[in-house]
Amino acid sequence: MIEILTDVPPGVVGVRAGGILTRDEYDSVVVPMLDEAQRSGRRLRILCEVGADYRGLTPGALWEDLQLGTRSLHLFDACAVVSDVTWIREVTRLARFLMPCPVRVFAEQDRAEAAAWLAALPETPSISVRLDEQTGTVVVEVAAPLRGVDFDALAATVDPWLSTHETVAGVVFHARTVPGWENVTGLRRHLQFVREHHRRVRRVALAVDGVLPSLVPAVAGRLVAPEVRHFAYDALDDAVAWAAGAGEDNRE
């Protein structure tokens, strides 16, 4: 059974799944919702509540689900999955990396929090970016998995500087551990940012604890233009000094 929820904030579409879902329910509830979004050009913020009585899909519903997913993912702005069903929560956490939009999992008791998160979109970047205009050095503080909007924020700081300077002296990434990416969009936007900017950055410092970041400089030297060096998380001052040129005048 699929039903539309009415007790959600404006701009949020709420659906509840329970029992066994059939092809007819997809055709009568889900398809019209997606068709309307397509016609109006509206992106969807979905709150999907999966009850403890959920038993899965019929073969017809499964096929419809696959078809809808293939052609409709671009319509989704964000999705909050609200459920206490363990396997639903785990599958969602595994699948969200491949989604082109933010996906988060909430317990049933946190349904109001899920709705509030969706209503608050667009989200602000989770990174903090600061530019030292004396040295042309950028410090990026990272505390959560990276998203596309984070690299938009980084570009918004770096690009104006590059419009009047040949290079950025250095970029320092400061994170307690390797943050990873929230989804494939974050990864794609990261790669795009590197491709568009790496030839105009002299040095990159990774002030990140762990074995993996310590291996990056050896690999990065073959792939990108900047010199890359690893520092411990607590050695931020050393990382910034090195990225700035360790006393050199890096201003253009």
**Which spans in the chain are helix H?**
23-25, 31-40, 59-72, 86-95, 111-119, 148-162, 184-197, 211-220, 236-244
Range with the poorest average pLDDT among 31-40, 156-165, 242-251: 242-251
HSE, side-chain direction, 13 A CA sphere, residue 23? 8
Q: With 90 as the cut, is the pLDDT of residue 176 above it? A: yes
pLDDT at site 238: 96
Q: What is the Cα–Cα distance from 239 to 40, expressed in whole angstroms? A: 49
Q: How confident is the model at residue 252 (pLDDT cuts 50, 70, 90)?
A: very low
When mean pLDDT is compared over 35-39, 99-103, 157-161, the highest value belongs to 157-161
pLDDT at site 155: 94
| Nearest-5° Cα angle at 108, 146 to 112 | 70
pLDDT tens digits for range 38-67: 777 677 899 999 989 888 777 666 556 656
pLDDT at site 64: 60
Angstrom CA distances, 4 to 51, 57, 77, 79, 221, stand at 13, 18, 18, 15, 53
Domains of the chain (ranges; CATH) run 2-119 (3.40.50), 128-244 (3.30.750)
Higher pLDDT, 151 or 252: 151
pLDDT at site 248: 55
Closest CA to 240 of 151, 144, 134: 134
Closest CA to 31 of 65, 63, 60, 73: 65
Determine phi and psi for 26, rounding to 5 degrees. -60, -45
Burial class (CB in 10 A: 0-12, 13-18, 19+), 37: middle
pLDDT tens digits for range 15-29: 998 888 888 887 888
What integer is the mean pLDDT of 128-137? 93
Q: How confident is the model at residue 250 (pLDDT cuts 50, 70, 90)?
A: very low
* Predicted TM-score of the model (pTM): 0.63
Q: Count Cβ neighbours within 10 Å for each residue of 173-196 and write b for 16 or more, e otherwise.
A: bbbeebbebbbebbbebbeebbee
Q: With 70 as the cut, is the pLDDT of residue 246 above it? A: no
pLDDT at site 218: 84
